[in-house]
Structure 1
Amino acid sequence: MPASPCINLTIEEKQRLLALARQTLVDYFAPQQTDIESLSDDALLSRHVGCFVTLFLDGDLSGCMGDIEGHRPLSKSIPELALCSAFKDNRFLPLLASQMERLTVELSVLSPLSQLKIRDEDALLRYLAEHRYGVVLSDAFHRSVYLPQVWEQLPQPGEFIRELKRKGGWASGHWSDDMRVELFTVEHFRE
């Protein structure tokens, strides 16, 4: 079973992280002298945890990028992921300055990944029928992740995994002995 989120964030900490993501986007369009380097001394922002930045324009998804393992501190990953979500998510048009007032930022802070030992896809589907975690599927050639929030759009385990595999570049019916399944929880919050 996945661990609980690795950071138990206060309301003030959540607001600070959201402000960092938004300020990064504001600075992109109207460069300021924000000193992001000084943030690396902050105990919260120096944490190495997985994180996703998700952007909504008028309530609709308009970009989402993440770092699953948390290779960098939040002070570096949040600004980079905010920019990637705004400008490099190929599913959406790049963000425009005129859209900033209609933009909502959501952050998801991930728990450590926990491997689920299963025999086959049927066992995974039975497990997911009872447990609604974030899922990472990987094998030698592909990797794909869905945050736990995706269960709201894809509530059936079969549909959830089928779409996760399609997102990762596998055929919807693909399964192999090399398939690795990792689970995680998130603490997600938005402006």
Structure 2
Amino acid sequence: MPALPVVKLSQSEKEQLLVLARNTLIAAFNPNYIAAKQPLLTERLKQLQLGCFVTLTLDGELKGCIGHIETDRPITELLPTLTNSSAFNDLRFQPLVESQLTSLSIEISLLSKMQVVEVNEQSELQSYLKGTSLGLVLSEGDRKALFLPQVWQQLPEPKEFIEALKVKGGWDRGYWSSNMKVEVFSVTHFSEESL
């Protein structure tokens, strides 16, 4: 059974969130900027509580990606925190510098609720995922790893997708355990380039 679809946003609401994220980055370098340039946010956005990831790309290359699977904060409060974390706290990359702002693109991914998938072995999960474009979370003990659905573009085969996610989480490619928790989700994602 596929994950539940995430809430639908209007074009205007997507634009409001992207402007909020962009203004957050500008304000990180120019603290007085945000007060004068804050986007008008709808009441619906101010109350919407969804998991979210902010992905930053610089000249087409990943520059940062940080998110929360679930939250009890409105997206309008969570988004600036995640935007700054993606820009300055993703340990895989050097922190963003102001001169990179003009070449930077922002993508926002809003997550549906997680749905547990009961499987006994990796081959069952591969069959389940074949032909889907679902996000995937694997967890066991204190290890947890997540791939957004967009990763399917780089890793289109379920076996490859799952094994790369296991490596990301610190497991061996061939590892599987009956204690492995499997969750799937869908996203609504949009970027400055797509609007």
Q: How large is the Cα RMSD of the aligned pairs? A: 2.0
- For structure 1, the 5+ residue unaligned runs are none
Q: CA offsets, 1:160-180, max 9 Å, x none? A: 111101111111111111111
Residue aligning to 2:25: 25
Deviation at 1:59, TM superposition (A): 1.4
Residue aligning to 1:88: 89
Amino acid at match of 1:115: V
Amino acid at match of 1:97: E
Please say if residues 40 and 46 of structure 1, whose CA atoms lie closer than 8 Å, have aligned partners that are also in contact: no
Q: CA offsets, 1:118-155, max 9 Å, x none? A: 12111001111132200011111210000000000011
Identity %: 44
Residue aligning to 2:157: 156
Distance 1:74 1:127, change over 3 A: same
Residue aligning to 1:56: 57
In 2: Cα distance, 1:52 partner to 1:10 partner: 19
Residue aligning to 1:190: 191
Deviation at 1:40, TM superposition (A): 8.9
- Report how many aligned residue pairs link the two structures: 190
- TM-score normalized by the length of structure 2: 0.91
SS in 2 for 1:162: helix
Moved more, 122-131 or 177-186: 122-131
Please say if residues 13 and 41 of structure 2, whose CA atoms lie closer than 8 Å, have aligned partners that are also in contact: no
- TM-score normalized by the length of structure 1: 0.93
Deviation at 1:93, TM superposition (A): 1.0
Deviation at 1:70, TM superposition (A): 2.5
In 2: Cα distance, 1:40 partner to 1:14 partner: 10
Amino acid at match of 2:175: H
Residues 1:46 and 2:53 aligned together: no
Residue aligning to 1:105: 106
